[in-house]
Amino acid sequence: MTYSNTLHGYWFLGITVTLLAINHFIIPIAGTHANLICLFLILTIGISHGSLDNLKGNKILRLYKVKNKIIFYLVYIALALSLTILWLITPSLTLVIFLLVASYHFGKEDSQFIDSFENHFKPIAFISDDKLNKKLDPIFYLIKGSIIVIAPLSFHFEETLNIFKILFIDNTDFINSLTHFDEQGIFDIALWLIAFISISFFIETACIIALNIYLSPLIAFTVYFCFLHSIRHSASLIKFIILEEGKVWKKHKKFIDIDLNGIKKFIKKALPLTFVTAILFISSVYILTNYYVLDEAILKVIFIGLASLTFPHILLEYL
């Protein structure tokens, strides 16, 4: 069995078309039930792509000759809690930092399987043919990944702004700035510029835009996060498991070999941390329903929880 980024794009297109058809012809995909399904998908498919962070943490501990594995968990949890506290103290600043970091992360991870032999047509300023232009790659990753942030602001500004307010974003200057950008059409212009720069990813870019046009920001994000970003990253984790076990890895320019045994081992290794994280998220939703309606509790837990986990996850990835 092989993983193909191109085939994944077509698979994601199929999911997008199916959901939009259901939403238009059968039943609108919205409301509390849809939000609960989003929570379930994020706590299973979504969270699982970061559930091997402990294995990568063990590699770092070995590098620094640290034998006590508990140290990794303590540092990881401390970083996640610190981000949660920082969000509660300065939510607007933390949100901006999170959106920038997440955009870069999404752009980089979603580009990792692409090479010059697979329709990787970056604009000339971003073509990585030499050391100088390679330094521009982070800019390309940031721009490409920012479509996840800009699309909901472009198509569902009021709903996205309401989500920000639910996430404790109450800075008047920040909200007024976003409103001004929307009135001036800045988000629309930025969206189409991003789409042009990401033209080599035409299928997934078109799907992300379509999802954000017809579905709510939470649902559009969930579909992208679970069925494109997370599955793509999980494919690289299966490779990581095979390499860690010293198996032979067949190299291709377009394809990544994945065997059924590797998938089973990934699920087995990912299950413990996925389960623990899911329990924490569900418990948080239950507690918050004592103070907020269920939809608001779900939004708070999903986005603030993901933000708290994203920072240590990204830090670990690049270490």
**Rounded to whole angstroms, how far apart are CA atoms 97 and 250?**
38
| pLDDT at residue 195 in the model | 92
Q: At what angle do helices 91-109 and 70-89 cross, to 10 degrees?
A: 130
State if pTM tops 0.75.
Answer: yes
| pLDDT at residue 41 in the model | 96
Helix (H, G, I), strand (E, B) or coil at 114: coil
The model's pLDDT over 233-244, given as tens digits with 9 standing for 90+, comes to 888 888 777 766
| pLDDT at residue 124 in the model | 40
**Rounded to whole angstroms, how far apart are CA atoms 48 and 68?**
24
| pLDDT at residue 110 in the model | 84
Please identify every stretch of the chain with a pLDDT value under 70, giving residue numbers as ranges. Answer: 1-2, 113-134, 243-257, 259
User: In 3D, which of 5, 8, 11, 197 has the Cα closest to residue 112?
Assistant: 5
The model's pLDDT over 137-146, given as tens digits with 9 standing for 90+, comes to 888 899 999 9
Q: Could you tell me the CA-to-CA distances from 22 to 19, 33, 78, 168, 216 in Å, in that order?
A: 5, 15, 42, 33, 14
**Rounded to whole angstroms, how far apart are CA atoms 114 and 111?**
5
| pLDDT at residue 198 in the model | 85
Find the angle CA(99)-CA(292)-CA(280) to the nearest 5 degrees: 65
